[in-house]
Amino acid sequence: MAWELGVRGRDKTAGQSWLNEMRLLTASLRVRFILLVVSLFCGLTIVMIMAASYLDLRDEEKKALDRASAVAVTVSRLAVPHLTNHHYLILEQELESIVADPLVRHVQVFDPARNISVDGNPATSYFDASEMPADMARVLETGKQTFRLAGDLIEISVAIRAHGGEILGAAFIGIVRPEAGTVIWTIWQRNAVIAVFLLAIAMPITFHFGNGFLKPVRHLTQTAHRVSAGDFDAPFPVDRRDEIGVLARAYRDMVHRIRENLEHIHWLAFVDDVTKLFNRERFRQELEAAITAAGQTGEALAVLFIDLDRFKRVNDTYGHDVGDRLLLEIAGRITRELGIADGPVLSAGRSGAVLATGRLPEQPVVARLGGDEFAVLLPGRIRVSAAGDFAVNIVRAVAAPIDIAGVSIVVGASIGIAAYPSDATTCTGLLKNADIAMYQAKNGGGSGFRYYDAEFDRIASDRVRMEGELRTAMAHHEFELYYQPQIDAAGGTVVGVEALLRWHHPVRGVLAPGTFMDIAEETGLIVEIGAWVLETACRQGAIWARAGGNLRVAVNISQAQFLADGFAETVLEIVERTGLPAHLLELELTESMAMANTELVARAVDAMRGGGIRFAIDDFGTGYSSLAHLTRLPFDAFKIDRTFTAGIGVDKSAMVIVQTILAMARSLGYESVAEGVETPEQLAFVTSHGCRHVQGFLFGRPMTAEAFELWMAQHAARELRAILVAVKGGAMAKTLGDVSNLDAVCPRAVA
């Protein structure tokens, strides 16, 4: 049984194999064409043979009928004298000779006068009493000849007439019909020989014309195979004027469109649409291929991770269109500094030397990784130590002002450098370490570069951990506001406070904003934190206002917070909800933020100033303000940055800048606040040049609301007046002695 099943299985497999071969064979257009021609030829041959057989059969039957008619005429003529003279015996002998013909089955003559029937059979009686055939009776009655087909016989009945036309009797003849099968077989044999002869002639002709017809089809098929293998330059037989030429031209156009679509898909997959540089995926491929090649040659590689400084402000202020144009310009500057002559557009379109040849690239590879991040792969011929020179040139090129849509935009670049194989041996590791180094450059003030150091991993881990802790700080109520007093330089009274955020970290202690605000900006938490600061400061200011204090509360506003939808409505709602008089709230915007888009800032500020809220430019003097734009901004005060105040008595340039700012504030009608006043000399200088309000450690450090209230109640008025009197009267020693008592009531919080 198993053997039988095995045999059946093999037979089944063999049958399937044969069927598959036949399917492949019949799948050929050439074979199909030949089979079609042969089928048509055979079909036509069969039809022709059948038609010829039918005609030949009819011809044979006609011959048999004519032969029967001739026999009938002969019999009728022979019978006339014998019937007239009643020579029946002689008639019978003559009929016997006729019946001897194998084609004549029977002959019968009937004499109605004597009712005698004579035929060619000697055994038949002359006086046959059998019934007369109906045909003979009809002939005797009508005199007309009749014939009919009876099986394999043709039977004819004719009248025997005398010379005068008198009917003497009737003759009944049976002639053998030609056998249809024999006739048809003979005809088929003859025609089959002719068909084979014609087929032998037609087959070579068919093969010749078939090959000639299918040759361009095979050419087109071969071209299609070349195209499918990636050769889009394969020639098509488009010069033909027949249907094949039409098909070839249509195929060529289709391949052209496919090629364009593939190039577009490749462009979308590997090229950044904004800068026309390689994108992250293509850079990864280039870097991995370069690492493989460098591993074989022993050469080193350097990866530069570039992140733009202040780009988000540009995007938020002017929109993505301006941001995209800025990115395109930055891409061009980077490629030019790297010595890529083609520029960003053509450099992204090159075939990719590393991927194509397996060798290191001859020139740097530049890519936009996303957002405001770029990456550069320096080839092995460039020493890793020289990567810093490239970074310096890129930083300088990026920092140059860029004019877009009539606006001068200034951004910076922070660059991290990681080397293969010293810093990492994988694509992911190199990019990660270069990214970590870039963050160290950014934390160092931006517009610079850093080489990767293993210590940066710990710093990056701390940063990631702090990001997670920052997300939970709000829920755990770890934030608190400290308040630093602002003093009227003329009267010595406290006119306001600046609300400063502090984070009571459970492990790190009290943290100033400088240690975590950049993380808050990157993660988007700055908006939520800023809203909490604003509402908390307004609520505290309202408490002091209800207690009779007329203190102005200054709150720093981030760019993301200021540009958020509905910010003006939110501020007015908070003021109304907390009960703080609107004129006691002062919002501080940095100079760079205020000057980024003066029209947008002016509209937003006007909306809130209409509700009584004041505005001040914070850290004035650190940006790139245009006086023409500055005069159009509806601000109330300038705050001189502490870096300039710290230079008083030390740096003549800083003193000139402070003097200029104060003079400009007076001429524009702005109030002025000097931040960072820590010494009597600094206080004397700013007040002598017209500064109205001062703020700094000389008067009070940032302190909690409770400490500030205690400080106000116990010491503020007396000590502030003493400081101002000492400065104006030159009694510096007394001033310093009085100021030393401040620490007892004002704990040193983190500045």
356 pLDDT above the threshold of 80? no
735 pLDDT above the threshold of 60? no
88 within some domain: yes
Instruction: Give the model confidence (pLDDT) of 555-564 as tens digits.
Output: 999 988 988 8
User: What does the CA dihedral 416, 422, 423, 426 come to, rounded to 10 degrees?
Assistant: 110
Instruction: Give the model confidence (pLDDT) of 173-198 as tens digits.
Output: 888 877 766 767 777 777 777 777 77
pLDDT at 213 (0 to 100):
66
751 pLDDT above the threshold of 80? no
Instruction: Give the model confidence (pLDDT) of 503-549 as tens digits.
Output: 999 988 999 998 888 888 888 899 999 999 999 999 999 999 998 88
CB environment 245-265: b (16+ within 10 A), e (fewer): bebbeebbeebeeeeeeeeee
Point out the domain boundary residue: 129, 152, 178: 178
443 pLDDT above the threshold of 50? yes
Residues 88 and 135 occupy one common structural domain:
yes
392 pLDDT above the threshold of 50? yes
713 pLDDT above the threshold of 70? yes
For the domain that residue 411 is a member of, what is the CATH number?
Answer: 3.30.70.270
pLDDT band per the 50, 70, 90 thresholds, residue 281: very high
Which of 119-123, 321-325, 415-419, 723-727 has the lowest average pLDDT? Answer: 723-727
105 within some domain: yes
pLDDT band per the 50, 70, 90 thresholds, residue 635: confident
**Predicted TM-score (pTM) above 0.85:** no
Spatial neighbors of 561 by CB under 8 A, at least 6 apart, are 526, 527, 530, 531, 567
pLDDT band per the 50, 70, 90 thresholds, residue 633: confident
Point out the domain boundary residue: 145, 178, 211: 178
CA atoms of 597 and 326, how far apart (whole Å): 15
In 3D space, the residue among 244, 181, 180 whose CA is nearest the CA of residue 212 turns out to be 244
- Enter the tokens of residue 140: 């005797």
2 pLDDT above the threshold of 70? no
Q: Give, to the nearest 10 degrees, the angle between helix 243-270 and helix 180-228.
A: 30
222 within some domain: yes
Which domain, by its residues, includes 406? 271-453
362 within some domain: yes
Point out the domain boundary residue: 228, 261, 294: 261
User: Cβ(327)–Cβ(368) under 8 Å?
Assistant: yes
14 within some domain: no
Q: Nearest 5 degrees, angle CA 19-CA 25-CA 28?
A: 145
Residues 108 and 61 occupy one common structural domain:
yes
Residues 114 and 240 occupy one common structural domain:
no
Number of H helices, E strands in the chain: 28, 21
Say how many domains are in the chain.
Answer: 4
pLDDT band per the 50, 70, 90 thresholds, residue 166: confident
pLDDT band per the 50, 70, 90 thresholds, residue 744: very low
Q: Mean pLDDT in the chain?
A: 80
CA atoms of 457 and 437, how far apart (whole Å): 9
pLDDT band per the 50, 70, 90 thresholds, residue 12: low
SS3 content of the chain, % helix, strand, coil (to 5): 55, 20, 25
pLDDT at 229 (0 to 100):
74
Long-range contacts of 292-295 (CB under 8 A, 24+ apart): 292/358, 293/354, 293/358, 293/359, 293/360, 294/360, 294/380, 294/420, 294/421, 295/421, 295/425
pLDDT at 4 (0 to 100):
47
pLDDT at 632 (0 to 100):
67
Give the range with max mean pLDDT: 240-249, 587-596, 629-638.
Answer: 587-596
Residues 290 and 233 occupy one common structural domain:
no
Residues 227 and 279 occupy one common structural domain:
no
Query: Which residue in the block uniquely carries the two structure tokens 């200034």?
Result: 410
619 pLDDT above the threshold of 60? yes
Residues 275 and 257 occupy one common structural domain:
no
CA atoms of 156 and 401, how far apart (whole Å): 125
Query: At residue 716, what is the residue type?
Result: A
pLDDT at 353 (0 to 100):
41
pLDDT at 553 (0 to 100):
97
pLDDT band per the 50, 70, 90 thresholds, residue 11: low
Pairing of strands 301-309, 373-378: antiparallel
Tell me, letter by letter, the H, E, C secondary structure of 211-262: HHHHHHHHHHHHHHHHHHCCCCCCCCCCCCCCHHHHHHHHHHHHHHHHHHHH
252 pLDDT above the threshold of 70? yes
Whether the bond between 421 and the residue before it is cis, its omega within 30 degrees of 0, is: yes
Residues 429 and 548 occupy one common structural domain:
no
User: Cβ(102)–Cβ(177) under 8 Å?
Assistant: no
Instruction: Give the model confidence (pLDDT) of 455-494 as tens digits.
Output: 877 777 788 888 889 989 988 999 999 999 999 988 788 9
pLDDT at 173 (0 to 100):
86
Residues 416 and 330 occupy one common structural domain:
yes
206 within some domain: yes
pLDDT band per the 50, 70, 90 thresholds, residue 572: very high
354 pLDDT above the threshold of 70? no
749 pLDDT above the threshold of 50? no
User: Cβ(711)–Cβ(745) under 8 Å?
Assistant: yes
Mean pLDDT computed over 601-615: 89
417 pLDDT above the threshold of 90? yes
Mean pLDDT computed over 156-173: 85
List the alpha helices (DSSP H) in 597-716: 598-609, 627-630, 642-645, 652-668, 680-688, 705-711
pLDDT at 71 (0 to 100):
83
pLDDT at 496 (0 to 100):
94
Residues 538 and 444 occupy one common structural domain:
no
pLDDT top residue among 82 and 554: 554
pLDDT at 27 (0 to 100):
52
581 within some domain: yes
Q: How many CB atoms lie within 10 A of CB 667?
A: 9
Residues 584 and 730 occupy one common structural domain:
yes
pLDDT band per the 50, 70, 90 thresholds, residue 641: confident
Name the DSSP letter for residue 623: S
410 pLDDT above the threshold of 70? yes
717 pLDDT above the threshold of 90? no
731 pLDDT above the threshold of 50? no
CA count, 13 A, side-chain hemisphere, 32 = 8
pLDDT band per the 50, 70, 90 thresholds, residue 726: low
- Enter the tokens of residue 430: 């190199």
Three-state DSSP class for residue 175: strand
Residues 437 and 538 occupy one common structural domain:
no
429 within some domain: yes
Mean pLDDT computed over 268-282: 90
CA atoms of 311 and 318, how far apart (whole Å): 11
Residues 206 and 311 occupy one common structural domain:
no
Mean pLDDT computed over 721-732: 56
CA atoms of 684 and 726, how far apart (whole Å): 10
